[in-house]
Amino acid sequence: MSDIKWWKKGVFYQIYPRSYMDSDGDGIGDIAGITDRLNYIANLGIDGLWISPCFESPMKDFGYDVSDYRKIDPIFGTNEDFDVLLQKAHELGIKVIIDMVMSHTSDQHTWFKESRLGNDNRKADWYVWADPKPDGSPPNNWQAIFGGPAWTYDTKRCQYYMHSFLKEQPDLNFHNPDVQKQMLSECEYWLEMGVDGFRLDAVNHCFHDQELRDNPVKNKNDLSTGLQIDSVIPYSMQTHLYDKSRPEMIDLLQKIRALMDEYPDTMTLGEIGDDNPYMRTAEYTSGHDKLHTAYNIDFIAGSSETNLNINKIKLPFREVKKHPEYGWPSWAFTNHDSVRVVTRWGKNIKDKDAFAIMLNKLLLSLRGTPFLYQGDELGLPEATIPFEKIQDPWGKFLWPEWQGRDGCRTPMPWRSDAPHGRFARNVGEHYETWLPIPNEHYRHAVNLQEDNKNSVLNQTRQFIKWRKTQPLLQTGEIEFKEDAEDSLLVFDRYDDNNRMRCIFNITEKDVKYNDEIYAPLSASFIVL
């Protein structure tokens, strides 16, 4: 196993910095707060951290709108604070990857401020600019994911600029070689500091069609809902042929990989949202010269409360199998953009804690790198956020059909018996967290679970510890069995010499399989 890369064998833990631990009493989590909790993370058995954006930002999209790639935002601390975090994590044997938002910046970035001055300055074409149509309308029909056209008119430059997300997040023009060189330099800055890799946000959005051709309109029968909502939004009415996933991406990915190869044992995790995600991921992870792995969103998409069924788990693996060139996969059941899985898949489940334990064991048993999201180890349900407390710009746009992403971003409940769950150590009378902690989360607080050997926290810890002794669960192949009832998810993890059967009862009733009775919401492992 010594030749298997750490990121293939290990378990990752995603931290949303605003909501992990507040060290300075301003209601917002920070870098020093993460450092303070590294022992907790190490005791959980985590091998790698993915830290969501903490670069300087106006926070229109809470860090995914970067105004300085080389500076930690003051609300999170300083570059020195990050260096301390990095050093302590490494001392504890924990790798650290950070979110690199490559496809766009904040409109407050100095690059954009210079670019919008006119079409004759050094950075004039660092962003995607286009003239209006003769009637003054946008250059084409491209839509922004967060609502409205993907174009905003700039009165200073008298042109439209492209933004795949918020209008405050202008898209960089990667057709310009100088932009590519600059972004590779931004990555190199953090590699020199010692980070172990990057999660590349919306990486397939880096290139656009230079002819600005209209996206084809989807057939009405092919309309799908948006990523997180049940109603169709304009973005999902198009086939995204020209606004993203362009063929030029391959050359850029190879350049990124060449840089990463200069820093041994580093890795890249790509976020790829595409109309054909498995084909695109196979394209981006094939061979050894592009992404190391890609983050599959099939398990985290959707907001409605639905029941978990075995096909939800089997289908992505069937799709992966159709693409032999598909590289090593990565999986998560929840992240900072999704409804928490206990709520999303547990509509009719009464024992939510047992369900959470089973789900964590399932995630950690699938072939690929597992990513736990903060609070998964506690079995946190989705929080309901009052409209007046909503912070997410997407949530404000979609209200009341969906509250947005705030429900999974509420602060961690560390103690049940302290104000605001001791999200901050010492708080004044008027202290408030940036998002409210729902009352139901206090029942899941870390201090209550620490002393209960059957808690979600301790059961997850024990399983991660055991997984480290099981090479088959780390890097073995996977084969689903089709002879079980729909209540049981059964698959084998195997290599040339060994085989382990993994049996998950996803219901709250006893189920019989091969003359054995499997208890409700249980996970069983049998060496064959």
> Does 436 lie in the same domain as 338?
yes
Rounded distance between C-alpha atoms, residue 234 and residue 435, angstroms: 29
Q: In terms of DSSP bridges, do strands 511-513 and 499-505 run parallel, antiparallel, or are they unpaired? A: unpaired
Return the pLDDT at 226.
47
- Which CATH number belongs to the domain containing residue 508 in this structure? 2.60.40.1180
**99-108, 175-184, 302-311, 457-466: the lowest-pLDDT one:** 302-311
218 in any annotated domain: yes
> Does 361 lie in the same domain as 490?
no
- Residues labelled as active-site residues: 201, 262
For residue 282 the two structure tokens come to 């196979």
Helix axes 177-193, 249-261, angle to 10 degrees: 30
**Sorting pLDDT into bands at 50, 70 and 90, what band is 427?**
confident
Give the other-Cβ count within 10 Å of 477's Cβ: 12
Cα–Cα distance list, 136 to 128, 140, 159 (Å):
17, 11, 10
SS3 of residue 195 by DSSP? coil
pLDDT in tens, 42-51: 999 999 999 9
Give the domain-ending residue among 467, 493, 511.
467
130 in any annotated domain: yes
> Does 231 lie in the same domain as 145?
yes
Return the pLDDT at 195.
98
Answer whether residue 157 shows pLDDT above 60: yes
SS3 of residue 448 by DSSP? helix
Q: Which residues pair with 15 in a beta bridge?
A: 51
415 in any annotated domain: yes
Burial 368-397 (b: 16+ CB within 10 A, else e): bbbbbbbbbbbbbbbbebeeeebbbbbbeb
- Which CATH number belongs to the domain containing residue 165 in this structure? 3.90.400.10
> Does 288 lie in the same domain as 162?
no
What is the helix (H) or strand (E) element at residue 463, kind and residue range? helix 456-467
> Does 192 lie in the same domain as 130?
no
Q: Are 44 and 7 in contact (CB under 8 A)?
A: no
Return the pLDDT at 2.
45
Q: Are 174 and 247 in contact (CB under 8 A)?
A: no
**Sorting pLDDT into bands at 50, 70 and 90, what band is 422?**
very high
> Does 184 lie in the same domain as 302?
yes
Strand residues in 47-126 grouped as ranges (E): 48-51, 55-56, 68-72, 95-101
> Does 192 lie in the same domain as 272?
yes
- CB-based contacts of 312: which residues, under 8 Å, 6+ apart? 299, 345
Q: Which residue range forms the structural domain that includes residue 379?
A: 6-103+177-207+267-467
SS3 of residue 525 by DSSP? strand
Q: Across the chain, which distance is largest between two alpha carbons, in Å? A: 77
Q: Are 68 and 86 in contact (CB under 8 A)?
A: no
Rounded distance between C-alpha atoms, residue 378 and residue 341, angstroms: 12
> Does 427 lie in the same domain as 318?
yes
- For the chain, the average pLDDT equals 94
- Which CATH number belongs to the domain containing residue 304 in this structure? 3.20.20.80
pLDDT in tens, 326-383: 999 999 999 999 999 999 999 889 999 999 999 999 999 999 999 999 999 999 999 9
Answer whether residue 223 shows pLDDT above 80: no
Only one residue has tokens 């044997």, namely 93
pLDDT in tens, 269-291: 999 999 999 999 999 999 999 99
**Sorting pLDDT into bands at 50, 70 and 90, what band is 303?**
low
pLDDT in tens, 480-492: 998 888 889 999 9
- CB-based contacts of 192: which residues, under 8 Å, 6+ apart? none
321 in any annotated domain: yes
Q: Which of 420, 417, 411, 414 is closest to 445 using CA atoms? A: 414
> Does 389 lie in the same domain as 322?
yes
Return the pLDDT at 225.
47
The phi, psi pair for 208, rounded to 5°, reads -130, 165
**Sorting pLDDT into bands at 50, 70 and 90, what band is 295?**
confident
Rounded distance between C-alpha atoms, residue 55 and residue 242, angstroms: 30
Q: What's the N-to-C CA distance of the chain in angstroms?
A: 21
> Does 434 lie in the same domain as 285?
yes
Q: Are 522 and 511 in contact (CB under 8 A)?
A: no
261 in any annotated domain: no
> Does 434 lie in the same domain as 393?
yes
Return the pLDDT at 326.
94
Q: Are 395 and 406 in contact (CB under 8 A)?
A: yes
SS3 of residue 42 by DSSP? helix
Q: How many domains does the chain have?
A: 3
Q: Which of 476, 504, 506, 500 is closest to 490 using CA atoms? A: 504
For residue 391 the two structure tokens come to 């912070």
Answer whether residue 398 shows pLDDT above 90: no
Rounded distance between C-alpha atoms, residue 279 and residue 348, angstroms: 34
Q: Which of 364, 343, 366, 365 is closest to 355 using CA atoms? A: 343
Rounded distance between C-alpha atoms, residue 237 and residue 214, angstroms: 12
State the average pLDDT over residues 206-222: 91
248 in any annotated domain: no
396 in any annotated domain: yes
Return the pLDDT at 1.
40
Greater pLDDT, 223 or 12:
12
251 in any annotated domain: no
- CB-based contacts of 362: which residues, under 8 Å, 6+ apart? 313, 489, 504, 523
Q: Which residues pair with 336 in a beta bridge?
A: none
> Does 287 lie in the same domain as 425?
yes
Return the pLDDT at 222.
63
For residue 358 the two structure tokens come to 């089973």
